[in-house]
Amino acid sequence: MNRPSPPFRGAAHNARSLALQILLDCRKHDAFVQEILDRQFAATAGSRRPLAEADRRLVTQLVYGVLRRRGTLRALLEPLVNRPAHKVESWLWDALALGACQLALLTHIPAHAAVHETVELAVDFGRPGARGFLNGVLRQVAALVTDERMTTAAANALPLEHGAYRRLARPVLPDPATHPLEYVAAAFGLPDWLVRRWLPRYGVEECQRLGFWFAGPAPLMLRCNPLRIEREALLTALREAGHTAEAGEHSQALRLHDAGPIRDLPGYAKGWFSVQDESAMRVATALMPEPGESVLDLCAAPGGKTTHLAELMRNTGRILACDVEDRRLQTVNTLAQRLGLTIIETHRLQGEEAPPGLFDRVLVDVPCSNTGVLGKRPEARWRLRPDDLRHLVTLQTRLLRLAIKRVRPGGTIVYSTCSIEPEENRQVVEAVLRESPDLRLEADEEATPGQPADGGYWARLQRKSC
């Protein structure tokens, strides 16, 4: 059906209604889901009945759960829906997915509560006649899932997180022994075409491991700001506040095991830390900036790597942070201000030319497919299309060429992505090296998702001195 989504009539304090509204917004807008969540939470904070913190966590868990596992939930639901899929409205599919997510994937929610609260969404969204349909389908889902656990993949084994499977009352998923591609795609909620790319490269077992990694959020990593506090002191402060934390592999990294509101952590307002995955921390470190140097960050927003560069430079020198939108650059300024970093200037790019002048070092963290961070950016797996890679490679190549124009002789460039696709990574670098005799590859690194952080790639290029 192509009828427009019904207007939201629920109260702002209703967590499931807000989750459904955000899912509908994700269908209409091209923004990252976290941006939509932040806007909605900001809007509800000013209402007469703002969301409690527990409800905010539930909204986040539901939205990310549905987006990560939309394909999985659809595989469970479609056999239970007694009408053609195209005749079920989009909002109704999302409502069903919300209910199925609670019943099948979030084991702490009682089944009766998940069914009842989801059925009432029909009233909140002005479609009370859909209550019977929702109730009938979700009761079948409740009967399908069991409380038993399994240890291996099977047609009746539903992957949860961290390598666990939940037994289904009957086989619903493809048989992994005879149809491994179809099983990985359906069981872990990954696009068929992406699994088809990965299977020859990684094999079935590794694809399943990647599926588990992307099925949930990566561990929350904090990057200690050494200009404000030593890592051991920050660890002590977190533990004294009741948090379970440990040092990561990177010298500034801390892994937090009990994620709560970031702003409530010790030292947030004082700029003791920022949130950044450990694989992303390795990118700024790979550029090896020195205090007093001039650095160009060609694709800077939202500012995680830009501010890391400033920390490594001990807030001495100059960083020019560029992006294509003033709104995105504001996030760079906001983060730098909280961290107490004053050497960052922002510049909005216009057209295809970077700001004039030469820099000692250039970081070009290019737009990419996000296939290394599909747990963190779950909407990417459904927005990405096979043809997008070709267009992304064209853009990535252009940006790397632009970076080369802006690095001084003897200077350094780091090219990086949060992709695990060879075309976007080493192949882009090799193509540009073939046409740039004054460049050489010093080092590169591909981070595999889950070992120990998200996936991505960086390459450090050196321009020859005159």
Which residue type, as a one-letter code, is found at position 167? R
E-assigned strand segments in 135-210 = 145-150, 157-159, 165-168
Active-site residue, from 101, 207, 418, 466? 418
Residue for token pair 């080369």? 404
Closest by alpha carbon to 76, among 142, 150, 120? 142
Q: How far apart are CA 208 and CA 462, in angstroms?
A: 38
Contacts of 438 (CB under 8 A, 6+ apart): 409, 463, 464
- Provide the 3-class DSSP secondary structure of residue 265: coil
CA distance 80 to 170: 13
| Contact indicator for 412, 384 with CB cutoff of 8 Å | no
Q: Which two tokens stand for residue 34?
A: 């976290």
Q: Indicate the residue type of 178.
A: T
327-339 exposure pattern, b = at least 16 Cβ within 10 A, e = fewer = ebbebbeebbebb
- Burial class from Cβ neighbours inside 10 Å (0-12, 13-18, 19+) for residue 122 reads buried
Looking up tokens 């490269």 gives 201
Measured in whole angstroms, the distance separating CA 2 from the mean position of its chain's CA atoms is 29
Where does 72-184 show beta strands of DSSP type E? 145-150, 157-159, 165-168
In sequence order, what are the beta bridge partners of 297?
321, 363
292/297 Cα distance (integer angstroms): 16
The distance from CA 217 to its chain's CA centroid, rounded to whole angstroms, is 8
Instruction: Please give the backbone phi and psi of residue 302, each rounded to the nearest 5 degrees, phi first.
Output: -85, 0
Which of these, 227, 366, 221, lies nearest to 310 by C-alpha position? 227
Instruction: Please say if 101 is a catalytic residue.
Output: no
Task: Dig out the tokens for 446 from the structure.
Answer: 């591909």
Whether residue 271 contacts residue 334, with contact meaning beta carbons closer than 8 Å, is answered with no
Where are any strands of DSSP class E within 169-218?
A: none
Positions marked catalytic:
418
